[in-house]
Amino acid sequence: MLPKLFFGYYAVVIIVLSLLVVTRKNPVHSVMWMLLLFFHIAGLYLFLNAEFIAAIQIIVYAGAILVLFLFVVLLLNLREELLIERFIGTWPTALVISVSLLILVIRAIQDMALAPPGNHSVDAIQAETHTVALGKILYTDYLFPFEIASVVLLIAIIGALVLAKRKMRSPQ
Amino acid sequence: MPEFVMPDLAPVMPEIVMTILALVTLIADIIFKRKETLAILSIASVVLVFFVLFGTPFKTTFNGMFIADGYSLFFKLIFLLNVVLTVLISMRYLVIERVNFGEYYSLILFATLGMMLMASAGDLIVLYLGLELMALSTYILAGFITYDMKSNEAAMKYFLLGAFASAFLLYGISMIYGLTGTTDLNAISEYIILNGLTANPVVMLSMILFAVAFSFKIAAVPFHMWAPDAYEGAPTSVTAFMSVGPKAAGFAVLGRVFLIAFGSVRMDWSAVLIPIAILTMGVGNIVALSQTNIKRMLAYSSIAHAGYALLGIIAGTGEGLASVMNYLLIYAFMNIGAFAVIIMLRTEGFKGDTITDYEGLAKSHPLAAALMLVFMFSLTGIPPTAGFMGKLYIFMSAVYAGYTWLVVVAVIFSAISAYFYLRIVMYMYMREPKESVSLAATPALGIALAITAAAVIIIGVLPSAVVSFARAAVAGF
């Protein structure tokens, strides 16, 4: 009963917070709600015995990424931003489509037959600790995707340089 | 306890070499002042990868995450060809657009690396990361003209909708993982069959989410909204690159995921793909009729061609898959050829991307007009060009699989497409030139045009070599 209550709290609060993030007119408010959202997601991870992911969630998302967001928001002209409508005119159509997709997903999920658990059961992870288990698996079974991810990050850096630094034109 | 075992690196050699050479190209940017050197370096890299590719054994490695087989080899050849042709048509164009920066070439190589990983992916995680690598590089390339609002708009729209599509893909992956407990394509298929999950709604929903995500990548209707704006605003050379490479990579993963992982629910996914294919051919061809910008017109044409190629996947046979691969190779030649002519018209102070700019081109530049004529005939599918052969094989494979009515629909839309392709031919040959158009012809562009035009005609007359190669490639699938 208690785990269900715990999960229920996080699930409901995460949905409410996500709605607040997208509906606020003031971008600073949106970012603040998002901060709270990230903390709740971290709480959910902790509840799932994933303490490493929870810590990363706080450090990377709540710490680094959100500060970056705030910097960008502070560069905006807030007065102008407040006058702009939050949603474009066709939002009711989008809402109808989203709600029907949601109903479809809920209907489908009811027939979900969970796969048998793998090697990393809750007990195995508790014995080994989550960080150790994750580190080992990243450098053995998932070495290949891990290496590809490093190239993806490199592209992100190159992209930031190309798009942000170069406002000049090359000589003819 | 997982122990580290050195994986067999031989099957991944082309990708490793590609990564190293892309990094070398990136660093060479600092050393070489003349960016043409980088263009030659990137072509040399691709040629080297080409030779490594043929020395690669057909094996799986990294616990089945990476598959080197004939199927992936064929797609990788399309990607490498795409790089060579794109680089050849870019060299002068980048100078004219005044964005002659070295990162362009390394980004093209990295995007191609992503496509190669997608074609070889035997695991959904590798597939997703390859797709992101390709997409991220292409977003940056689309916005490469940073001082141009249209280029920025193209990159922004492509990025936002691409990220949206990735979310669908991840949602699909998470559902299938929850259901089967694995991300390996073969294991998913086995689990679904062994546990009798073929009628499970979660499998259906996951399959639909995959179909949506891949439809975004190949620009199929109704998930094509990004394509016209992205194709129009992006630098023309990047448009040529985008319309061939990512589309072919999208088909590569579509074929592998749907025929292997979802092989047991073939009737269900063909029921999803058939309406998508019909809509794609319909909207692509009909909206193309009213375009005045040639890049936008070719964007809709590219949407329509994705619709024809989908027919081969719907057929669901090895023959169908071979015809799709054959078609994508032919499409690479004819589409980049057409873009090479468009790029030739772009000179300093003259955009040359509206259809009326082609009026009377045959009088002022007969050779350029003749080449454009060949590519337009091929895109329409008129014999003896390669475009006809490509369509013929696709339609034949669909007829053999029992989709005759679908082929009739496709032929009708194909007939509609003749109007907007041949309109350009009509403008070039039957109208008087309004203003004198000068061409930015360079040896590199000449080589690209010679390769593409020769390939379009040779494959059109003697298609058997390419077709039997494609058939052999899917034999081990």
Confidence of residue B401 (pLDDT cuts 50, 70, 90): very high
Q: Determine, for residues B103 and A149 on separate chains, whether the beta-carbon distance falls below 8 Å.
A: no
| Angle, in degrees to the nearest 10, between helices B366-380 and B443-461 | 40
CA torsion B33-B36-B40-B42 (nearest 10°) is 70
Percent of chain B with pLDDT over 90: 77
Asked if pLDDT for residue B284 goes beyond 60, the answer is yes
Question: What's the average model confidence in pLDDT over A7-23?
Answer: 92
Q: What is the pLDDT of residue A167?
A: 64
Structure tokens at B262: 């979802």
Confidence of residue B63 (pLDDT cuts 50, 70, 90): confident
CA torsion A103-A105-A110-A111 (nearest 10°) is 130
Asked if pLDDT for residue B173 goes beyond 90, the answer is yes
Q: pLDDT for A92-144, tens place per residue?
A: 998 999 999 999 999 988 888 888 888 777 788 888 888 888 888 888 889 99
Cβ of residue B63 closer than 8 Å to a chain A Cβ: yes
Domain count, chain B: 1
Yes or no: domain A1-83 corresponds to CATH 1.20.120.1200: yes
User: Is residue B390 in some structural domain?
Assistant: yes
User: Is residue B139 in some structural domain?
Assistant: yes
Asked if pLDDT for residue B51 goes beyond 60, the answer is yes
CB atoms within 10 A of CB A55: 15
User: Is residue B342 in some structural domain?
Assistant: yes
Which of the residue ranges A3-12, A121-130, B385-394 would you say has the lowest mean pLDDT? A121-130
Q: What is the pLDDT of residue B26?
A: 93
User: Is residue B1 in some structural domain?
Assistant: no
Q: What is the pLDDT of residue B431?
A: 87
**Mind spelling out the 3-state secondary structure of B208-238?**
HHHHHHHHHHHCCCCCCCHHHHHHHHCCHHH
Give the minimum alpha-carbon distance from B437 to chain A in angstroms, rounded to a whole number: 20
Q: Which of A119, A138, A155, A170 should we substitute to test contact with B (largest number of B Cβ atoms within 10 Å)?
A: A155
Give the minimum alpha-carbon distance from B58 to chain A in angstroms, rounded to a whole number: 18
Domain positions in chain A are: 1-83
User: Is residue B4 in some structural domain?
Assistant: no
User: Is residue B3 in some structural domain?
Assistant: no
Asked if pLDDT for residue A86 goes beyond 90, the answer is no
Asked if pLDDT for residue B328 goes beyond 60, the answer is yes
Question: What's the average model confidence in pLDDT over B311-336?
Answer: 93
Nearest Cβ partner of B146 from A115, A117, A166? Answer: A166
Q: What is the pLDDT of residue A77?
A: 76
Which chain B residues contact residue A118 at CB under 8 A? 181
Confidence of residue B21 (pLDDT cuts 50, 70, 90): very high
User: Is residue B86 in some structural domain?
Assistant: yes
Enumerate residues 136 to 195 of chain B having a beta carbon within 8 A of any beta carbon in chain A: 136-137, 139-140, 143-144, 146-147, 155, 177-182, 191, 195
Question: What's the average model confidence in pLDDT over B367-391?
Answer: 93
- Which residue do the tokens 């017109």 mark? B297
Cβ contacts of residue B26 below 8 Å, gap of 6+? A158, B102, B103, B106
Range of the domain at B398: 10-475
Task: Report the alpha-carbon distance of residue A132 to residue A150 in Å, rounded.
Answer: 20
* ipTM, 2 dp: 0.90
